[in-house]
């Protein structure tokens, strides 16, 4: 019994649960926003949430199976299930593939084909394009941001049955949000990434100053995109107040990174606030539809 529980815990960690939960919540937000004003069936909601969880977990598991050797070289990832020996490499591939197939089938059979294609495409892009490119080019960050931006769009398409301007705005918001977030992580762990052979900064030999400036510019772009949702809110002025407040909060962190780029706390603030900013903004979008 204890062995079985340890195995299940290892498989749970293979999904990168903290990352999966955050991304999965953006699917739920997209589903809520897209389904506003209509009655969604319980079956559709359950299938969207279950299928998307499996798809996200699949991409993360396959990512770990592919780069377990590199994970073993970095302190922050050395205790992941495969490099630590709790799961064999072939198990990681098998479990990741099973999750992906099951998740895509759930979305195709009980949600709709566009969402299933988005799910399958995100797995392929993340696990088999972005992951190998991390060891070859800094441009991999842009490639990886595409599957990272699909989840809220998929939630919207699940509710609406098709694409719309709002779906693309959700995609754009999450696409741009990822850059300051990723670059803050990359700067904090740049020595470990270099040792593992990953190219994670904006461009080769980017300095702290250059990384911070780009994080600031992308933060400004993210705020601009967030304000574009105002016409779709019931009370546009109320949404703008909340979005602007959250935007200024994250902009302050990005500006502090520019002012003191060498200070680890500056990059860490960008990282922490970015993790909080996105779910808070999506919650505010939903709240602004209620009033």
Residues 36 and 133 in one domain: yes
Last residue of a domain, one of 163, 194, 229: 163
Triad 105, 111, 117: Cα angle to 5°? 60
SS (H, E, C) 15-36: CCHHHHHHHHHHHHHHHHHHCC
Q: What are 260-288's pLDDT values in tens digits?
A: 999 999 999 999 999 999 999 999 999 99
Triad 180, 268, 182: Cα angle to 5°? 30
Residues 96 and 239 in one domain: no
Residues 142 and 181 in one domain: no
pLDDT of residue 7: 85
Residues 25 and 102 in one domain: yes
pLDDT of residue 173: 98
Look over the chain and give the mean of its residue pLDDT values, rounded to a whole number.
94
Residues 25 and 11 in one domain: yes
Residue 103: count of CB within 10 angstroms of its CB? 24
Let me know: does 48 contact 107? Beta carbons within 8 Å.
Answer: yes
Residues 60 and 101 in one domain: yes
**Which positions ≥6 away from 207 have C-beta within 8 Å?**
261
Last residue of a domain, one of 163, 198, 221: 163
Tokens of 192: 């470990």
pLDDT of residue 122: 97
pLDDT of residue 235: 87
pLDDT of residue 42: 95
pLDDT of residue 234: 85
Residues 216 and 113 in one domain: no
Residues in the chain where the model's pLDDT stays below 50:
none
- CATH number for position 55: 1.10.357.140
Chain position carrying tokens 């998929």: 154
Q: Which domain holds residue 226?
A: 169-291
Residues 147 and 281 in one domain: no
Q: What are 12-27's pLDDT values in tens digits?
A: 999 999 999 999 999 9
Last residue of a domain, one of 163, 190, 206: 163
pLDDT of residue 96: 97
Residues 118 and 188 in one domain: no
Let me know: does 49 contact 26? Beta carbons within 8 Å.
Answer: no
* Total domains present in the chain: 2
Query: Is this structure's pTM higher than 0.85?
Result: yes
pLDDT of residue 200: 84
pLDDT of residue 205: 85
Let me know: does 73 contact 196? Beta carbons within 8 Å.
Answer: yes
Residues 180 and 269 in one domain: yes
Residues 136 and 238 in one domain: no
**Residue 155 Cα to chain centre, angstroms:** 14
Residues 73 and 184 in one domain: no
């Amino acid at each position: 019994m204890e062995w079985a529980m340890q195995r299940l815990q290892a498989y749970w960690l293979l999904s990168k649960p903290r990352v999966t939960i955050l991304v999965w919540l953006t699917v739920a937000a997209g589903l809520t926003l897209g389904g506003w004003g209509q009655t969604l069936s319980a079956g559709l909601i359950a299938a969207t949430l279950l299928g998307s969880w499996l798809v996200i977990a699949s991409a993360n598991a396959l990512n770990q199976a592919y780069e377990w050797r590199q994970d073993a070289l970095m302190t922050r990832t050395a205790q992941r299930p495969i490099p630590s020996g709790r799961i064999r490499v072939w198990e990681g591939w098998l479990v990741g593939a099973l999750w992906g197939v099951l998740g895509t089938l759930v979305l195709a059979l009980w949600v709709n084909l566009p969402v299933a294609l988005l799910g399958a495409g995100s797995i392929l892009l993340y696990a088999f394009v972005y992951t190998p490119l991390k060891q070859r080019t800094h441009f991999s960050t842009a490639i990886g941001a595409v599957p990272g931006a699909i989840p809220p769009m998929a939630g919207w398409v699940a509710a609406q049955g098709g694409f719309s301007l709002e779906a693309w705005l959700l995609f754009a918001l999450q696409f741009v949000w990822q850059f300051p977030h990723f670059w803050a992580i990359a700067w904090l762990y740049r020595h470990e990434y270099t040792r593992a052979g990953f190219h994670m900064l904006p461009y080769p030999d980017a300095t702290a100053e250059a990384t911070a400036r780009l994080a600031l510019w992308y933060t400004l772009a993210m705020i601009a995109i967030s304000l574009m949702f105002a016409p779709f809110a019931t009370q546009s002025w109320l949404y703008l107040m909340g979005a602007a407040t959250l935007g200024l909060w994250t902009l302050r962190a990005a500006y502090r990174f520019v002012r003191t780029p060498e200070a680890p706390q500056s990059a860490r603030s960008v990282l922490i606030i970015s993790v909080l900013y996105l779910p808070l903004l999506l919650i505010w979008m939903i709240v602004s539809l209620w009033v």
